[in-house]
Each structure stands twice: as C-alpha cells, then as structure tokens.
Structure 1
Amino acid sequence: MAAAARILVASNRGPLTYSLDGDGTLRSRRGGGGLVSGLSAVGSDGSVWVCSALTDGDRAAVRSGAAEPGVRMLDIDPDVHAAAYNGIANSVLWFVHHMLYQTPREPVFDAEFRRRWAAYEAYNRAFADALAQEAGQGASVLVQDYHLALVPGMLRALRPDLRIGHFSHTPWAPVDYFRLLPDDVAEQLLRGMLGADRLGFLTHRWADAFTACCTALAGGTGGTAIGVHGLGADAEFLRARSREADVEERIAALREQVGAARDGTARRTIVRVDRTELSKNIVRGLLAYRELLERRPEWRGRVVHVAFAYPSRQDLAVYREYTAEVARVAADINSTFGTPSWTPVVMHVKDDFARSLAAYRIADVALVNPIRDGMNLVAKEIPVVSDEGCALVLSREAGAYEELGADAVGVNPYDVSGTAEALHAALSMGAEERAGRNRGLVAAATALPPQQWFLEQLKALEAPGAS
C-alpha cells in the first residue's frame, strides 16, 4: 500500500514509551510537550511520528507489531544507536554547541570517533529511509534536533518532492568553536541541514551563528530559509496541573523542610529545577549561594535554596562525576552553615514532576544560570506558576534571555561573585517591583505556547515560496 502521510515528525524520542510487566504484558505511556500537542492539533489522521525504539519494551512493541497507529518506531541495532546517540550526539555535538570541551585535553578525533561517526550516519540514514517510505506526495516533514542533523540532506536525495524542515533545540556554536570538528564532518553537518527547505532555531543568536558557520564553511545557506521560533511555556497546562492534590501535598512537605525563621516569619526560597547536565551550571550556582551566605550573613537562617538536581546521562562517566560534585558541594554548604533548625540547601535528586511544580509555586527567586542553553523552559515556567510572583536570576547565555532579559536579573554564568550579588538583589527586591517584573516575565514566557510553536513552523514550511 502506498505511503500517504501528509505531516511527519522525526525525533530520537517519540511521543510514547513501552514497558514490559513481569508477565510480559506491554504497557504504553504517552509523553507531553510541544510536538505532542502540536501534532494532536493537526489530527492523527494522515500524520506519522518516526522515532527510535529506546527501551526493551519499545523494541518488543516493534517486533510484535503492537506500536500505535501514527507512530513508527525504528528498531535500530542497539550498538549503532549507542555509538550515534552517546558517542556522537551527546558526547560531541552537544559538547560543541554548548562549548563544554576542556580544549587542552579534548576533543580527540581519532579512529574511534570515525567508527562512531559512521554509526551516526547509519542512524540518520535509517530515519531518512523510514520517512521516505511513510511520506505521501508533497508531504511536510519536521525533523528535530542535533541527533538528526544529516536527515534533511539524505531525505532530500530520496524524496525531492517533500517539504522538509529541521528544528534545533540547542544553541548553535560560533564559527571558531564549530571548527573544532574535523573539516569534512563540519561541512557534512551543515550540508545535511541545508537539505531542508527551512531551518528553525530558538533565538536569533543561534540562527545567526548557524548562518555564520554556513558562510565560512559551506559557501552560504543556499536556498534554505531560516526562521526563529521561541518555544514558550504551556501556561494553561502548568497552572491547572500545579493545583492538583499531589502538588498541594508536596508543597506542604517542602514548606516543612524549608521551615520558618527564628522570628517566626516565613523563610525566603531560591528555587532551581534542573537535570545534572553539565551545561546547567549547578555547581557554580551552589557556590554563588555559598558566597551569598558568607558575604551577606543577614540571610543566614532566613533563606533556603530548594535545589532539584535530577541525574542525567549517568551512562557517561563525566556526568556521573558532575552529579557527585553537585551533591558534595550541597552537603558542604549544609555542614558549614546549617543549624539544628535550618538546612540551607534542600536538595532532591529523584525526578518528581509534581514536586517540581510545588517548588515553582513557592519560589521567591528562581535561579537559572546555565553556561549555555538553547532556551531553558524552566526560566519561563517558574514565573508562570509562582504563587506570589518570583524574581528571576537568569544567565545571559540562556536562549530565554533574549525574551526575558528585560525583566530578569541578568548574570554572567561564570561569575560566582556576581551571581551571589544578583541573588541578594533578587531576595531584596520590593513587592511592587517583583510583581511588575513577574508580569513582564509571564507575558514574554507565554507568547508562543507549544501548540502554537509547532503550528507556526508547519505553516511557515507549507507556505508558498517558503524556501
């Protein structure tokens, strides 16, 4: 039967995941986010989501033919997937775009890198082949992120009739840093993406960096259009979900952990919610809080740092080491400054969405200080959910700074002393100023909610003359 999908999405992770019960029963769980809500807005009839089978349950679903209609999971060889996903996407491309390398020692592009690069090519080829098979004549294809940077060019060669878009959810490296990559690989990545009719980025800064790389290394962007779509917070969902009973229970538990100051007044809260991803800069955030307590002793006993640091990519040694460092610094702060009635840092490492929303609601100050971030939705979500309106301390290296910077307290993420002073300024902010800033943050944060973000890209891709 001929393929007939008119709208296709491709991403490493799909809209649902399967698990196997002890008796072998398959169970599915659907995720959320902009792509899921966006694709639901155009209807499931005639749409297909192509993704990787990531779990044993996913692979069992594929092999048994149990996958849901409208979702095509690719059962890619686990060794190929690991080499492409961990060996290239997360250990090379992520590091380049977030500028994370310690360049005296890394990167090293040797024979092992070339083996992994071949796996990355094979992984992208599997997606391009599947999309070519599933797509109807003239269909629109929206490819997602750095995992699939080669797909547009590969798919263009297979199906020149398609409208192909690619969206980057990460920053894009400046030319000099992008040139760390081997010359042929850098050019291959750019030309792979330029196979698209249209490329989307989260901010003008990242779009301009990509264009500069193309100008320097690929002779320009050719006929590919470039667009900017700043993904916003889903305010309706967040506000409704944050009022549910399980969130209320966790608020009570957090307030008990935070406690009251010696004079009986409520302690102020500095909230951060992150994965222990290297780019999130959690350790420097903790060091800034430590310096706040050292240099501003008036805050001792009157403020608590509620820090959620959810482990990420623990199959990579550098991430395990970083996660351990986060825990060590937090424990040191509590050991140095804590008293029987005051725990300076309340840290949680088990991912719990309801507890994250509870922390959002009680936040007086949100700390978002990444070294580099494509957007950072937490910076947009906390002001939307905060009960009393919060002050936002925000890294100028977060993509969100482009939209939120006017109402945030901006920081250089490497400047620990500067961040400590920003925390003091945020904690000291008057109620009227804080409320005014919070209104500005919320307006900017909700300007392009997830469903509209997806539909805006689709409309731009399908517009006559979009390329």
Structure 2
Amino acid sequence: MVSEPGSAAAAQVLVASNRGPVSYAVGEDGELTARRGGGGLVSGLSAIGDEADALWVCAALGDGDREAVRRGIVGAGPQAPQNKGGGGRRAGESGVRMLDIDAEVHAAAYNGIANSVLWFVHHLLYQTPLEPVFGREFRARWAAYETYNRAFADALAAEAAPGAAVLVQDYHLALVPGMLRELRGDLRIGHFSHTPWAPVDYFRMLPDDVAEQLLRGMLGADRLGFLTGRWADAFTDCCVRIIGGTSGTRIGVHGLGADADFLRERSRRADVEERLAVLREQVGEGRRTIVRVDRTELSKNIVRGLLAYRELLDTRPEWREQVVHVAFAYPSRQDLAVYRDYTAEVSRVADAINSAYGTPGWTPVVLHVKDDFARSLAAYRLADVALVNPIRDGMNLVAKEVPVVSDDGCALVLSREAGAYEELGEDALPVNPYDITATAEALHTALSMPDDERAERTKRLAAAATALPPAQWFLDQLRALTG
C-alpha cells in the first residue's frame, strides 16, 4: 500500500535503514513467523509512543521477508511485530514497510558499494598498493547503489505526512536525504552515521564525482548526526575542502550509550548463569580473564589482539597458567571472501597460541565462533580485563557494555581509534591498535591493577557508558530535528 501524503495512514515519524526491526522466516508448513530485532533504533521508535504515527522503511533481506511482502503482510511495528494481513496501517499505529528491491541490485549496492567501498573508506582499510580500483565494474555497482537509494527515497516520499520527520540511517543510504529533498521539500530530514567518517585525504580516494555526490546527498538533510565530535569534524572538513562548505545543514553529536537496565536484567537470567558456569570451568579455578567479544569484521583487530596476548605470555612468563583469553569472534559478512579469510586467520592464530603455550591443565585461549548472546553476557560478567582494540570504530558498544555487567569490576584496554575512547578514555588504558608490544604491556598493567582501583574505574566507566541510553539517544535526535 502506498499512502498519499496527508492521508489518514501517512506517517509523522519515519525511520529508514537497510535492516528493519523485524525479519520473517518461512516455516516448513509455509507459515510466516516474525522475529523482533534489537538495538537503539528499535528501542527509540518504541519510545515515541502511540501518539505519533510511525513507520520504519527497510529492505526485504531474505526469502522470508520477500514472501511477507508478496503476501501483503505488514508488521505491527518494532515494539511487537506480528503477522498481519494486508490492508495497510491505520492512523495512530506504527508499522514496517519492506522494500522488495531486486536481489541483484541489492547485492551490488549493499556488498558491492556499501560494505566493499564505503565501509573500507571510512575505516581506512584499503591495502592501497593494490586497492581500490574504480573502473567499469565499480560504475555498474554505483548505479545499483543509486537505484537502491532511490527506492528508499520514493517510498519515504509516498508514506510521509506533510512536515513529517524522517531519520535516515547510515552509509548504506547516504544519497537518500538529497533524493528525498527533491521529492518532498516539506519534510524534516535527518541522517545518522553509525561509522567513523574518513579524513579528507582518504575520502578523496573515491572518484571525484562520487565523493561530491555522497557529500551533497548527505547535505540534503536538515540535520546530520555522528557518534563523536571527531567523526563530525572529519565530515565537515570533507565538505569544506571538496564542495566549499556544509550548505547550512546542521550537524550534531549523539554518543550512543549502553542500555543499563536491559543489560543488568538480561545478564542475570538462567541461561546466562548456565553459560557462566561452563566458562568458569573452561577458564579454571583462580585464573584471571581477558575478555573480548566481537564480530570478525576487519576493523575489529582481533588478530593483533591475539598477537598482543601471545607477546604478553612471551615477555611476562609469570602470567602463564594464570590467565585465560576468552575470545568470542562471531563470523560476519561471510559472503565476502576477505571476511572468510580473516575469520580463518583468527582461528589459526588462536590455535597456534594454544599449541605453543597450552598445558594439560591450561588452555591459554578459549575461542568461540558461534554467536550466542547469553554466553557473551556471561563473559562480560567474568571479565577481569576487557580488550577492545579496533583499528577504527564508530563507537563500539562492547567497551560500554562490559563495565555495566562485570561482576567484580574490569579494567578496560581500549583503542584510541574507537569512538568510545572520546567518552571512556580517561578511565581506560589507551592503546595504539597497531602496536602489539604496547598492547601487551597494557594487558599486563590491567591484570596487575589493584582491586580497589579497578572497582573505582569500573564505576566511572559504567556511568559514562550509560549517559545516553538507546531510547534517549533516538529521541534526542528526533527533538533536535523537529525543535
């Protein structure tokens, strides 16, 4: 169903993102079941309340989603998605509109541009002697990225009430604000970047016309949001140096925080207690733990973290058999070869450390690669030291979540290239993510930290980490856009 602007079903608040708040799966009996997503956006849209007509526009990502679109099913909103027959949304009801974009177009836009070009640029990940190469294949994928963004802009223009607020999310949809502005000049448009923003000299690696198109697309928004002042400043610098300025678009900073109430309640449930008992048995009595929980994204720097731990065991032999590195490395983007290779290297290095140093009663690295949220929370509770050493990260919520959940307090070894460093750096142990010798020394300092100092640091880290919880983070952006 496409609503006419201003009709009873038109939305007053709209969120646009590649992934939506609900996903569908087709059962063996042909029935569709819905699963609610998590995260700050879902909490935020739920926090708006029933007084505002709200709509989430997202892409249909799998067979279940596409079947839900074909059957005319509309989710009942991010708070409690359910299967529901066609007929559209009613006034006063939040909902979900999934866009069944051609699968090849979506793959070219999402994997070919968003994750293989824009992600790499903003995270400074290219091996520049060999990559990137911008030729005809890139141009074909860029055309798909334009088509993908246009589909979102068209849907938002059709669904939005006069003067509605539209909050567009992330690098996948960088062109949407400008496209939407051309279609609906009455709308209040915001865009939020969940990643870092590249410094201008690196951003200029992109073809000149593409760099300018991205910036002008973003500047179609009334207001742009970033996780830290550093990323906001980098964007502004790109605009000034490449197109002469930001054209009056307002820019704000909203440092997404951890959801303390949810984390503390969830981490005390029975399934977490069960996994905690298993982890304690794997670690062994009386040993300290260094914990990391990440997806195997190239920016997370898991391999160098393992190498730093190996150097700790080399240079500080007193920690042998006294500490265990609990490392959760959950596979990410395995449809891309470079991510599959990286995931394999993580396992190879962990196995090499265990082979070199392990004893019958001690496994130096306990590595888990199967995603398990309850087990992650159990590791948070067990952590004496949290290792968060990304090459570059927009924020990194793990750095904020561990101090909230840790049972006995934890020391935080934190990369200065994580967005979270802006808020947590004073009470963390900062590291250069490329320097494994310095990281090994920081791990030693963290493991050696007196209990009272560790407890005090943890208390301050938790307070800073929860200063802007997800629902408030979202509502602050909405108020800044509409105020």
* TM-score range normalised by the length of the shorter chain: over 0.9
**Residue 123 of structure 2: aligned partner:** 98
**Residue 36 of structure 1: aligned partner:** 42
What are the within-5 Å matches in structure 2 for residues 9-408 of structure 1?
9-43=15-49, 45-69=52-76, 70-260=95-285, 266-408=286-428
Q: Matched residues in 2 for 1:381 and 1:287: separation?
A: 24
**Residue 413 of structure 1: aligned partner:** 433
Q: Matched residues in 2 for 1:176 and 1:200: separation?
A: 22
Determine which of 464, 472, 479 is the counterpart of 1:444: 464
Which string of whole-angstrom CA distances, capped at 9 and with x for unpartnered residues, describes residues 201-250 of structure 1? 00000000000000001110011000000000000000000000000000
- Gapped regions of structure 2 (runs ≥ 5): 77-94
**Amino acid aligned to 1:365:** V
**Amino acid aligned to 2:312:** L
Q: Matched residues in 1 for 2:47 and 2:427: separation?
A: 32
**Residue 6 of structure 1: aligned partner:** 12
Q: Is the 8 A contact 2:12 2:165 kept in 1?
A: yes
Q: Give the CA deviation at 1:43.
A: 2.4
Which string of whole-angstrom CA distances, capped at 9 and with x for unpartnered residues, describes residues 261-295 of structure 1? xxxxx100000000000000000000000000000
**Amino acid aligned to 1:2:** E
Tell me the matched-pair count.
Answer: 458
**Amino acid aligned to 2:22:** L
**Amino acid aligned to 1:61:** A
Q: Matched residues in 2 for 1:420 and 1:451: separation?
A: 37
Q: Give the CA deviation at 1:67.
A: 2.5
Q: Matched residues in 2 for 1:8 and 1:380: separation?
A: 28
Q: TM-score, normalised by structure 2?
A: 0.94
Q: Matched residues in 2 for 1:98 and 1:326: separation?
A: 19
**Residue 442 of structure 2: aligned partner:** 422
Once the two structures are overlaid, the 10-residue window that deviates more, 434-443 or 135-144, is 434-443
Q: Matched residues in 2 for 1:25 and 1:55: separation?
A: 15
Report SS of the residue matched to 1:81.
Answer: helix
Q: Give the CA deviation at 1:436.
A: 1.1
Which string of whole-angstrom CA distances, capped at 9 and with x for unpartnered residues, describes residues 307-344 of structure 1? 00000000000000000000000000000000010000
Q: Is the 8 A contact 2:165 2:188 kept in 1?
A: yes
Report SS of the residue matched to 1:108.
Answer: coil
Q: Matched residues in 2 for 1:62 and 1:428: separation?
A: 56
Report SS of the residue matched to 1:227.
Answer: strand
Q: Matched residues in 2 for 1:157 and 1:343: separation?
A: 60
**Amino acid aligned to 1:243:** R
Which string of whole-angstrom CA distances, capped at 9 and with x for unpartnered residues, describes residues 130-178 of structure 1? 0000000000000000000000000000000000000000000000000
- Gapped regions of structure 1 (runs ≥ 5): 261-265
**Residue 84 of structure 2: aligned partner:** none
Q: Is the 8 A contact 2:290 2:386 kept in 1?
A: yes
Q: Is the 8 A contact 2:295 2:329 kept in 1?
A: yes
Q: Give the CA deviation at 1:33.
A: 1.1
**Residue 263 of structure 1: aligned partner:** none
Report SS of the residue matched to 1:248.
Answer: helix
Q: Matched residues in 2 for 1:41 and 1:237: separation?
A: 14
Report SS of the residue matched to 1:394.
Answer: strand
Quote the RMSD (CA, aligned, Å). Answer: 0.7
1:453 aligns with 2:453: no
Q: Is the 8 A contact 2:289 2:385 kept in 1?
A: yes
Q: Is the 8 A contact 2:22 2:75 kept in 1?
A: no
Q: TM-score, normalised by structure 1?
A: 0.97
Q: Matched residues in 1 for 2:333 and 2:49: separation?
A: 33
**Residue 92 of structure 2: aligned partner:** none
**Amino acid aligned to 1:198:** R
Q: Matched residues in 2 for 1:378 and 1:114: separation?
A: 36
Q: Give the CA deviation at 1:23.
A: 1.5
Q: Give the CA deviation at 1:22.
A: 1.1
Report SS of the residue matched to 1:448.
Answer: coil
Q: Give the CA deviation at 1:32.
A: 1.4
Q: Matched residues in 1 for 2:436 and 2:120: separation?
A: 22
Q: Matched residues in 1 for 2:299 and 2:46: separation?
A: 32
Q: Matched residues in 1 for 2:440 and 2:327: separation?
A: 16
Q: Matched residues in 2 for 1:140 and 1:41: separation?
A: 15
State, as a whole percentage, how many aligned pairs show the same letter: 80
Report SS of the residue matched to 2:407.
Answer: coil
Q: Give the CA deviation at 1:392.
A: 0.1
